[in-house]
A and B are shown apart, each in its own frame.
Chain A
Amino acid sequence: MNKNQERATLILEDGSTFSGYSFGYLGEADGEVVFNTGMVGYPETLTDPSYAGQILVATYPLIGNYGVPPKTYDKSLLLHFESDKIQTKALIVSDYSKDYSHWNAERSLSDWMEEEKIPGIFGIDTRALTRKLRDNGTMLGWIIPGDEVSEEDLNKKVEDPNKTNLVGSVCTKNIIEYDGGKTKIVLVDCGVKNNIIRAFQGRNILVVRVPYDFDFMNIEADGIMISNGPGDPKMCQATIENTKLALDKGIPTLGVCLGSQIIGLAAGMETYKLKYGHRSLNQPVNEAGTNRSYITSQNHGFAIDAETLPQDWREWFTNDNDGSNEGIIHISKPFFGTQFHPEASPGPDDTEFIFDMFVRSLK
């Protein structure tokens, strides 16, 4: 290790500080501090738009091992990433691996983060930090270079990203069409992961990707897919209103993660903020009325309150760990929502069948 290694410090809104060594970009950042317990998949996770506005803590201590893959495009989508850039504000790890080894690696994680101006800190007791976030709930935090913390540093005021238009900042600004067969869906982009688009491409569905607040009812389509995205679903009022119309018309609709919450709100359900959210690749969910359970990839801080389900809706999946809602389904119409990510990436593909169900419902 370089003896002149720069130090950096994470400060939490409760005044606690965690100092370590800097990697990636040496600079400041702030955001909501959240933890993810996945043991692999940092290139995918960091580019997941749902992490916009967040400082990510990796609970797995060894990060950077297999470097970062090249920016290869496949059908206009980056092959190895979930969006075009790193979406997190910063990354906190215990042991960063400066040396990497993988046949498909092009550069180190640090180099990539430096290029994208994303600060990283390693040498932190990420387990202690995680426990704090778990016990106190997610907190705002900010990163400063160095390990000497002034009064001013401690009292810095940072904006709560959940109160900003995160979705607007990450979604597409233009309408993009992705080639496919005759069947066509509108993909309402609230911060969509590339793998959702790939899921439809793989099923030969034509995808029209539109901004989250686009009045998509103008586009004639066989179905509507409301994507995942960052932050509080209630910030997406336009999407909720548009979704209401779609549901009224009975158009097949699938929502994933934030998309599911938006469908819920459109159908009259309530959402709430979880204490510290679900961010991992190992969330077990049970399918209601069956003895099936699945391991799912998740990344969300808000959830649907299952107590508020209207008459025609059923709880489809529940979380096996904490009982929270993991999916909703309409009893007669082709409306589905899953809190987890059936597209995985990174994560287990146990629930990919959700896309098949949705595609079958498209006339």
Chain B
Amino acid sequence: MIKKNKPKKVLILGSGALQIGQAGEFDYSGSQAIKALKEDGIKTVLVNPNIATIQTSEDMADQVYFLPIQVQFVEEIIIKEKPDGILLGFGGQTGLNTGIELYQKGILEKYNVKVLGTSVETILETEDRNLFNKKVEEAGLKSALSKTAETVDEAVAVANDIGFPVMVRIAFALGGLGSGIVETEKELIDKAKRAFAFTNQILIEESLYGWKEVEYEIVRDKHNNCITVCSMENIDPMGIHTGDSIVAAPVQTLSAKENFMLRSNGIKLIRHLEIVGECNIQYALSPTSDDYRIIEVNARLSRSSALASKATGYPLAFVATKLSIGYALNEIENEITKETSACCEPALDYVVLKFPRWDLQKFSQVSTLLGSEMKSVGEVMAIGRSFEEVLQKAIRMLDIGMEGFVCNNFEVKELDKELQQPSDKRIYYVAKALQQGYSVEKLNNLTKIDKWFLYKMKNIVDQAELVKGKKINELDKLTLLRSKQYGFSDKQIGILTNADEFAVRKYRKDFDIIPCIKQIDTMAAEFPAQTNYLYMTYNGFFDDIEPGEEKQIIVLGGGAYRIGSSVEFDWCCVNAAKTLDNHGYKSIMINYNPETVSTDHDTAHKLFFEEMSMERVMDIYEKESPEGVIVSVGGQIPNILAMKLHKHGVKIVGTSPEMIDNAESRHKFSAILDREEIDQPEWEELTNLDSAKEFCNLVGYPVLIRPSYVLSGAAMSIVLSENELEEFLKKASDISSEHPVVITKFIEDAREIEVDAVADHGELFAYAISEHVENAGVHSGDATIVLPPQRLYLETMRRIKMITKKIAKALEITGPFNMQFIAKDNAVKVIECNLRASRSFPFVSKVLKQNFIDIATQLMIGEKPHKIDKSSFDLDYVGVKAPQFSFTRLKGSDPVLGVEMSSTGEVACLGDDFNEAFLKSVLSIGFKIPEKGILLSTGPVKYKMEFLEEMKMLEKLEIDFYGTRGTCKFYKQNNFEMIELNRPYTKEEPNILTYMEEGKIDLVINIPKSNDKAELDSDYYIRRKAIDLNIPLITNIQVAKRFVKAINYSNDKLQIKSWAEYK
């Protein structure tokens, strides 16, 4: 350990809520930073309102602030905590931008806070295109031909100079917002206009479409020692955002000369920029020569660096932290080998593939085409020893119903067009084209994907052809082995041979075809390594480890981040593993999401970076012979596996899988509720339209429709009329044929309540009741949630607790569970019950300061945790959780909330009362206090009336009110001054859009009268414009009211209190 000149206390800026372009990878990097600092005896202070993260856990930073990552808050924290160092590079673009602002405003200098690692000057040089290109030139290297423009006219002139098509880039962009290739002047003008709403400078650049896109992670210490840790090659060439690209590591199609030329150039530039720590450099490489361009440098930890860390086993974030406090590379131990140092360029003896996960079908009106703006919400990483193997594994990991590269059922029209236009499904069209006999040359022309990748894809298609139509017992050993080496699952082989998945499994095992366990050791086996970082492959025949240690328990992870399942479940998994290890067990984590802490090498006793398919979990189970499997902390993927695993003799730890099935099956669960005399909304399972109509007429519209086994309300919808019912059912049959559709009576103006709880052999052990701010009808993942409840009657609370107890007993629960209730007056109905941890477990655990997962895990393994004192549920403060949306990224999507979940992340803040906690929370997700004008369109008269009290409060702000015709009329009658603006479709001035564009409006409250399509369409342009112009938008009346009240009561008295100070 170095001794001199280390900081004593370091402030770390987090990245806030998960959003597209900035997801779980920063929980990983921040957590590693904290560990690295703590190891050196340095105190840590963390600012991050993302309560579901591991980095904000009690045993991580010394002080945690659940506050917005904004200058005014961070300055207060600096004054209070007096740190002498700050890390800006571990909280994504959010942390970086705030850090730059702190520096530029002189705040860091004023309070003597030293920026650790790469200097702000250098960061600015990498963030500003002109400065960056100048630096590249100074280093004697090449960047893309480009020029900045500050007006639309200038942009047009520059573009004409360079020649269309051109790339339009926007600086300081999070995940490439607004950037894109434009073909014509008209397109350019459109794009430039939109861009100037966010920035006063854009960059016009030569288009490198079709060039290879290659990335390197580079590390440099203060002594100028510089290494490249990982090379990555995008399978999708230039033109598609790297976050939306399928990426292989290491590079596959580059010669050694090209590879080391790019390495040298990167190092040259990084030395010239004087980066200290870690950075990512992106290149375009010509597919026809060794010509290259340097595209950009990210002088901070990034999505790519998280991926590179997991791909190589090299702890980039940890090392970057050590370098920033003054270590030399060779003074840091290689955590994986324990024998060598961090001065190491990992040698891989496997291949890695990252595949993005998109959830675009959850949004209306959004384009599924991919370009330079990132749209994916998560990613998976597959490890194997052939490209075919990792491609098929990765596709299955996405958990979108695809069996691999082949054996999928889908229709495609206009195949050539689909191949030319990259979309979220293009890879499957490539498979289709290969099956139809397209040549690799033709596909290369259409897609620009390098032929090498296409050859490999063709191998898969050819192998499928070889197997197809044969009977399973006609397959010889070598053909079967080759199929497995090409990544075919038992299920795929079953589809090809018309056999059951388990028949295939048995058949291959009779041939002794089983995958072997390999270690990831950063050194390609050159040195012995004690690493627990494992994967499985059929391209190998010997296990690296001796499996089957005693007292092992498997924890199934959460898989790819997606809408409805993200970092919350990672928190649960990590905590479950920790509890197991603390109680004499050895945890085995299975997960395949590179953006997580659960896949860190030091989280579990063993990590299998593997698929969570039935097949692979069984493979691991059979090799490792653990005492059981925990399926209740990783969300819906493990939950669904529970019953299947159980049927194949796997021991499930905790609540029995039969009971999980009882809760998941509507019929069984409903019968249990009836038996226990617990009320539920009327519902019916439906198999045809006529019976559906009949039922709806009986209970009356609105009704809620959904398929069974859902997460985040996939394909759920509120239906208002018979017409809509018919329309929906047509769509629903496409969504799921395996599971019937369920119709439930929807209760209007009701409150929604969540219970997160833990039980022990049917006895309720711990519980938390939280309340939605919005009325029922907003998906629980999109709702603003408050703990403890603020508006509930005591009687309602009592009833909810009683029901929860009954359910725990009836389902003999041992472990975590979650229930959702509807309450109207004092009537309480159960709407859902999941026998697993829920999205809100970290929130309630951290607000109550009772780790529900630790308790649940202890109970599941038969430990006796301390009984929780009742007073711990009696809080003197309030926690409010608020959703983060990523509508900005999803061009065209309608930013309105419904029963379908659409948020990508969440934050939660604490306050002395509801108003304070609420305001901190919504400021953390991008709300701003209006200073200029508010546009109001407040929906039905009932809402308009409800909002009168808040209008009086708003008047005190002395800002302008604008309204649509009806809204204006109403409030004028009630003696408010309001300017009437025309709706967008009238195209008449004064028009709402014009006022928004001119910056006169800085808050839009737009409450749709209903979720009826015609109603939504009418104000779609207003909402969309608000999103595109970055104007805060509120579409829910309860949230609008709460926001105004919170501004009124709390704006000037937001407390800067750390988590520990809330007692």
Contact = CB atoms under 8 A, between A and B. Distances in A.
A134 to B, nearest CB: 6
Contacts of B264: 348-349
Contacts of B540: 94, 125, 127-128
Interface string A337-363: 000000011111110000000000000
B819 interface: no
A324 interface: no
25 contacts: A1-B459, A35-B526, A37-B349, A38-B347, A40-B251, A41-B256, A43-B256, A59-B347, A59-B524, A66-B452, A80-B257, A103-B289, A104-B255, A125-B542, A127-B518, A131-B525, A284-B330, A284-B340, A291-B330, A292-B225, A293-B330, A294-B225, A295-B227, A346-B260, A348-B260
A305 to B, nearest CB: 21
A60 B349 contact: yes
A60 B255 contact: no
Interface in B530-586: 539-542, 544
Interface of A is mostly: loop
Contacts of A66: 253-255, 452
A130 interface: yes
A235 to B, nearest CB: 26
A45 to B, nearest CB: 8
A30 interface: no
Given A134-B526, A348-B264, A321 B340 contact: yes
Q: How many A residues are at the interface, by size bracket?
A: 35 or more
A344 to B, nearest CB: 7
A347 to B, nearest CB: 7
Interface in A260-310: 280-282, 284, 286, 291-295
A34 to B, nearest CB: 12
A97 interface: yes
B528 A284 contact: no
B348 A60 contact: yes
B447 to A, nearest CB: 13
B526 A127 contact: no
A175 interface: no
A134 B255 contact: no
Given A59-B524, A127-B385, A134-B525, 6 more contacts: A37-B523, A60-B250, A60-B349, A104-B255, A128-B542, A320-B330
A60 B347 contact: yes
Most buried by B among A62, A135, A347: A62
Contacts of A125: 516, 539-542
Contacts of B528: 134-135
Contact of A321 (B287, B339, B348, B524): B339
Interface of B: 223-225, 227, 250-257, 259-260, 263-264, 267, 287-289, 328-330, 339-341, 343-351, 385-387, 440, 450-452, 455-456, 458-459, 463, 479, 482, 516, 518, 523-528, 539-542, 544
A102 B344 contact: no
Contact of B450 (A60, A94, A101, A130): A101
A284 B344 contact: yes
Contact of B341 (A95, A100, A282, A320): A320
Contacts of A69: 255
Contacts of A134: 525-528
A295 B220 CA distance: 13
A65 B452 contact: yes
Contacts of B455: 97, 99, 101
Interface of A: 1, 3, 35, 37-41, 43-44, 59-62, 65-66, 69, 80, 94-95, 97, 99-104, 125-128, 130-131, 134-135, 280-282, 284, 286, 291-295, 320-322, 344-350
B256 A282 contact: no
Which 8 A-B pairs give the minimum distances between C-beta atoms? A41-B256, A346-B256, A99-B455, A128-B542, A101-B452, A37-B347, A101-B451, A37-B524
Contacts of A3: 479
A293 B456 CA distance: 38
Contacts of A80: 257
B329 A293 contact: yes
B531 to A, nearest CB: 13
Contacts of A280: 347, 524, 526
Contacts of A100: 452
Contacts of B344: 282, 284, 320-321
A291 B345 contact: no
Given A282-B345, A344-B260, A40 B254 contact: yes
A348 B539 contact: no
A38 B255 CA distance: 12
Contacts of B386: 61-62, 94-95
A233 B40 CA distance: 46
A345 B264 CA distance: 13
Contacts of B351: 61-62
Nearest to A100: B452
A94 B351 CA distance: 12
Nearest to A133: B525
Most buried by A among B264, B526, B542: B526
Contacts of A104: 255
Contacts of A295: 227, 343, 345
Contacts of A43: 255-256
A349 B524 CA distance: 21
Contacts of A130: 349, 524-526
Contact of B539 (A61, A103, A347): A61
A61 B350 contact: yes
A95 B349 contact: no
B452 A284 contact: no
Given A66-B255, A348-B263, A282 B328 contact: no
B230 to A, nearest CB: 10
Contacts of A320: 330, 340-341, 343-344
B539 A284 contact: no
A38 B41 CA distance: 38
A315 to B, nearest CB: 16
A280 B323 CA distance: 26
Contacts of B223: 291-292
A39 B349 CA distance: 8
